[in-house]
Amino acid sequence: MSVRGQVQKRSLLRRRLGRITGHGDYPFNLIIAAAALLVVAIVIAIGYQLWSNSTLSRVAFGLKFLWTTTWDPVAQQFGALPFIMGTLQTSLLAVVLAVPISLGIAIFLAELAPEWLRMPLGFLVELLAAVPSVVYGLWGLYVFIPALVRPISVFLARYLGSIPLFAGPAYGPSRLAASLVLTIMIIPTISAVSRDVFLAVPRSQREASLALGATQWETIWQVLIPYGLSGILGAVILGLGRALGETMAVTMVIGNNLDLSLSALHPGYTMASVIVNEFTEATYPLYLSALIEIGLALFALTLLLNLFARLLVWNVARRVPQEARV
Amino acid sequence: MTVVVRAQSRQRYLVRRITNTVMLGLTGLATVVAIIPLLWIVLYVLIQGGRFLSFDFFTKLPTPVGVPGGGVVNAIVGSAILVTLACIFSIPIGILAAIYASAHPNTRLGLSLRFATDVLSGIPSIVVGIFAYTVVVLPMHQFSALAGGVALSIIMLPTVTRTTEEMLKLVPNSLREASLSLGAPEWKTSLRVMLPAALEGVVTGIMLGIARVAGEAAPLMLTSFGNSFMNTDITHPIAALPQTIYIYAVAPYKDWHDKAWTTALVLMTLVLGLNITARLIIVWRRRKLGLG
């Protein structure tokens, strides 16, 4: 066959191949769809693996796993309540402390700060989220606790010790220490999301309020915050989700102690920290299964919270017309 | 009568003015309060960690307790291997999924993908560690760098996917239309026109992802386990910088605490450096595109 014939044949083949494959679009679409599907499949696989690998423990203890307090690997008795309580107590306290500060930051960055300050300040607050968890733990353990947490704890135990939440004696590593470190760690999440919520409030809302004679603070408190309330709530829940799953920093400052009292000044234990502490030491299948079930509970909890938060934030984003955004 | 009313209203006005000033001042104070820990941590790590920083720290293996000198070269190499593995798994999948998300945002799969990305970014890293343990460590009967890489790649995946998607959205539509009108197929338009146009953004997304996983210790405790010797075999346990910090920090030895601070300095330089660079690129890019 002549060279020309070969070339013709090849180009014919190419054209036919192009027609069959949509000029390469069909296989390409297949590949990107497969990648998208894989991401979805990973989430499902995580849920499935946690569920199936915790079967032993789920069968042995049933739902009472969640509200019994005995955690005794030697007697093969497992109940996760101390960890669940520890996680909820530290995270909720952290959220209570972080919300006013984060809202203050969001208001300052969205409404008050001069233009040239907004960017660098927002930048610094966001860098708080970039510090590795284990560095927070190291700093918390050797700097923050001796310098600040212990004096505060001693003070609280002395003057408010009659309240169960602040019952003494005051330790160094404690639930309070974990809460305070968590507070610092979730401030960037809550403040960044609620700043975006404030920025999404239409300018006309502010102008209307100011025109009626409200001060700037009254405008923020009575107009902007109610307007963006569901978005702010979403931001708070995202922060809570981060706090619930935080592992290393909490493990390093909470003291890892099965203490059943309510006192924030006592050392405690959380779901994430018991997993990281005991996982590689779990010597028999039921023990490992119980730890994985704690992971399953943590997964379910953060999944629900995230769902709820996304719904709230989406709601706000949808309500605000595009052109109203500043 | 009128005088009393006027006096009252003036008083109320004064109270409102004072409330306004105080509350607005407090928001500024909140910002300062939040930034103090950042500066405190950075300065402390610099001062404490800087004291023992030496060339040996980057080139020598750890020494036993009480023996001075030594370094964390095993953890540096380990972290590099783990992050590389995470990139190998997560970058191609993340970018391809992002192309899908930007091309078909409202199909059922596109919506599920967005939801899955959101969920993935909210799952605690320790839970991802358990997952990697069950799918890699259990079948292989061994802790391994590979398992750690799988865990880190899942943690990194949502960051890569979301940033790439957002950067693809920023590319002007006219570019895409021009390419299609010249007869280029969709795939060529996506890979040769859109992706290069969004490249800086994609790279920053990858950098943010790396910065995030390079600091993760929790999932590694269940997967790559740690190793006090040099290892480059990905089927065996391997050391990592954040995990080394943890081990040194919770040990009861003073010289290990010093090493924890120095390791933290190395890790912080890496993580914050990547983060700051990536954010500066984003700012610069937005400015170039006229988005302020």
Ordered per-residue pLDDT tens for chain A, 326 residues: 566 777 777 788 888 888 888 788 899 999 999 999 999 999 999 999 999 999 999 999 999 999 999 999 999 999 999 999 999 999 999 999 999 999 999 999 999 999 899 989 999 999 999 999 999 999 999 999 999 999 999 999 999 988 888 887 888 899 999 999 999 999 999 999 999 999 989 999 999 999 999 999 999 999 999 999 988 998 999 999 999 999 999 999 999 998 888 899 999 999 999 999 999 999 999 999 999 999 999 999 989 998 888 787 676 666 654 444 43
**Is B130 inside any structural domain?**
yes
Q: Enumerate the residues of chain A whose CB falls inside 8 A of the CB of residue B35.
A: 121, 124-125, 128
State whether residue A28 sits within 8 Å of chain B by CB: yes
Q: Enumerate the residues of chain A whose CB falls inside 8 A of the CB of residue B16.
A: 215, 218
Taking alpha carbons only, the member of A303, A283, A300 closest to residue A51 is A300
How many angstroms separate the CA of residue A214 from the nearest CA in chain B?
9
What is this model's ipTM?
0.93
pLDDT given for residue A316 in this prediction: 63
Which of A102-106, A138-142, B193-197, B283-287 is predicted least confidently?
Answer: B283-287
Give per-residue pLDDT as tens, B219-272.
999 999 999 999 999 999 999 999 999 999 999 999 899 999 999 999 999 999
Q: Is B120 within 8 Å of A42 when comparing Cβ atoms?
A: yes
Mean pLDDT taken over chain B? 92
Chain A residues 60-99 with CB within 8 Å of chain B: none
State whether residue A216 sits within 8 Å of chain B by CB: yes
Position A213, amino acid: G
Q: Enumerate the residues of chain B whose CB falls inside 8 A of the CB of residue A119.
A: 283
**Is B146 inside any structural domain?**
yes
Question: Which residues, 6 or more positions from A312, have their beta carbon under 8 angstroms from its beta carbon?
Answer: A230, A231, A233, A234, A237
pLDDT given for residue B153 in this prediction: 97
Segment B73-77 mean pLDDT: 95
**Is B132 inside any structural domain?**
yes
**Is B131 inside any structural domain?**
yes
How many angstroms separate the CA of residue B258 from the nearest CA in chain A?
11
**Rounded Cα–Cα distance for residues A314 and A171 (Å):** 43
Unique residue bearing structure tokens 């293996």: B61
**Is B24 inside any structural domain?**
no
pLDDT given for residue A323 in this prediction: 41
How many angstroms separate the CA of residue B140 from the nearest CA in chain A?
15
State whether residue A46 sits within 8 Å of chain B by CB: yes
Nearest chain A residue to B135 by CA distance is: A49
Nearest chain A residue to B13 by CA distance is: A215
State whether residue A15 sits within 8 Å of chain B by CB: no
Position B31, amino acid: T
How many angstroms separate the CA of residue A1 from the nearest CA in chain B?
32
Closest by Cβ to B242, choosing from A24, A103, A134: A134
Chain B residues 97-126 with CB within 8 Å of chain A: 97, 99-101, 103, 109-110, 112-113, 115-120, 122-126
Q: Where are the domains of chain A?
A: 3-53, 66-324
Residue B225: φ, ψ to 5° = 70, -40
Q: Is A132 within 8 Å of B268 when comparing Cβ atoms?
A: yes
**Is B64 inside any structural domain?**
no
Question: Which pair of tokens denotes residue B83?
Answer: 């992050």
Query: From the CB of residue B35, how many other CB atoms can be counted at a distance below 10 Å?
Result: 17
Question: Which pair of tokens denotes residue B91?
Answer: 């970058």
Unique residue bearing structure tokens 């009626």: A212
Q: Enumerate the residues of chain B whose CB falls inside 8 A of the CB of residue A136.
A: 41
State whether residue A17 sits within 8 Å of chain B by CB: no
State whether residue B134 sits within 8 Å of chain A by CB: yes
Q: State whether the Cα torsion A121-A122-A128-A132 is positive or negative.
A: negative
Backbone dihedral region for residue A78 (phi beyond 0: left; psi -120 to 50: alpha; all else: beta): beta
**Rounded Cα–Cα distance for residues B92 and B153 (Å):** 11
Calculated CA dihedral for residues B85, A43, B93, B97, nearest 10 degrees = -160
pLDDT given for residue B20 in this prediction: 95
Segment B211-219 mean pLDDT: 95
Length of chain B counted residue by residue? 292
State whether residue B217 sits within 8 Å of chain A by CB: yes
Nearest chain A residue to B26 by CA distance is: A104
Q: Is B38 within 8 Å of A276 when comparing Cβ atoms?
A: no
Question: Which pair of tokens denotes residue B62?
Answer: 């750890």
Q: Provide the number of CB pairs (under 8 Å) joining chain A to chain B.
A: 269
Position B41, amino acid: I
pLDDT given for residue A287 in this prediction: 96
State whether residue A9 sits within 8 Å of chain B by CB: no
Taking alpha carbons only, the member of A44, A36, A35, A39 closest to residue A299 is A44
How many angstroms separate the CA of residue B159 from the nearest CA in chain A?
12
A265 neighbors A174 (Cβ within 8 angstroms): yes
What CATH architecture is A66-324? Orthogonal Bundle (1.10)
Q: Is A184 within 8 Å of B37 when comparing Cβ atoms?
A: yes
pLDDT given for residue A8 in this prediction: 78
**Rounded Cα–Cα distance for residues A326 and A197 (Å):** 11
How many angstroms separate the CA of residue B243 from the nearest CA in chain A?
8
Q: What residue spans of chain B are helical by DSSP H? A: 2-50, 55-59, 73-103, 108-122, 125-132, 138-140, 145-170, 173-181, 186-188, 195-197, 199-214, 218-223, 241-250, 254-288
Residue A320: φ, ψ to 5° = -90, 120
Q: Which residues are registered as beta bridge partners of A78?
A: A71
Nearest chain B residue to A303 by CA distance is: B119
**Is B77 inside any structural domain?**
yes
State whether residue B133 sits within 8 Å of chain A by CB: yes
Chain B residues 58-87 with CB within 8 Å of chain A: none
Nearest chain A residue to B150 by CA distance is: A42
pLDDT given for residue B64 in this prediction: 86
Give per-residue pLDDT as tens, B149-171.
999 999 999 999 999 999 898 88
Segment B271-281 mean pLDDT: 92
Q: Enumerate the residues of chain B whose CB falls inside 8 A of the CB of residue A104.
A: 26-31
Q: Is A130 within 8 Å of B261 when comparing Cβ atoms?
A: no
SS (H, E, C) chain A: CCHHHHHHHHHHHHHHHHHHCCCCHHHHHHHHHHHHHHHHHHHHHHHHHHHHHCHHHHHHHHHHHHCCCCEECCCCEECCHHHHHHHHHHHHHHHHHHHHHHHHHHHHHHHHCCHHHHHHHHHHHHHCCCCCHHHHHHHHHHHHHHHHHHHHHHHHHHHHCCCHHHCCCCCCCCHHHHHHHHHHHHHHHHHHHHHHHHHHCCHHHHHHHHHCCCCHHHHHHHHHHHHCHHHHHHHHHHHHHHHHHCCHHHHHHCCCCCCCCCCCCCCCCCHHHHHHHHHHHCCCHHHHHHHHHHHHHHHHHHHHHHHHHHHHHHHHHHHCCHHHCC
Number of structural domains found in chain B:
1
Q: Enumerate the residues of chain A whose CB falls inside 8 A of the CB of residue B245.
A: 134-135, 138
Q: Is A134 within 8 Å of B28 when comparing Cβ atoms?
A: no
pLDDT given for residue B291 in this prediction: 59
Q: Enumerate the residues of chain B whose CB falls inside 8 A of the CB of residue A223.
A: none
With a cut of 80, say whether residue B2 has pLDDT above it. no
**Is B13 inside any structural domain?**
no
- State the number of CA atoms in the 13 A half-sphere of B87 facing the CB: 16
Q: Enumerate the residues of chain A whose CB falls inside 8 A of the CB of residue B33.
A: 101
Unique residue bearing structure tokens 């391997």: B238
Position A37, amino acid: L
With a cut of 80, say whether residue B15 has pLDDT above it. yes
pLDDT given for residue B148 in this prediction: 97
Q: Is B272 within 8 Å of A248 when comparing Cβ atoms?
A: no
With a cut of 70, say whether residue B277 has pLDDT above it. yes
Give per-residue pLDDT as tens, B76-134.
999 999 999 999 999 999 999 999 999 898 899 999 999 999 999 999 999 999 999 99
Domain that holds residue B124: 73-288
CATH number at residue B202: 1.10.3720.10
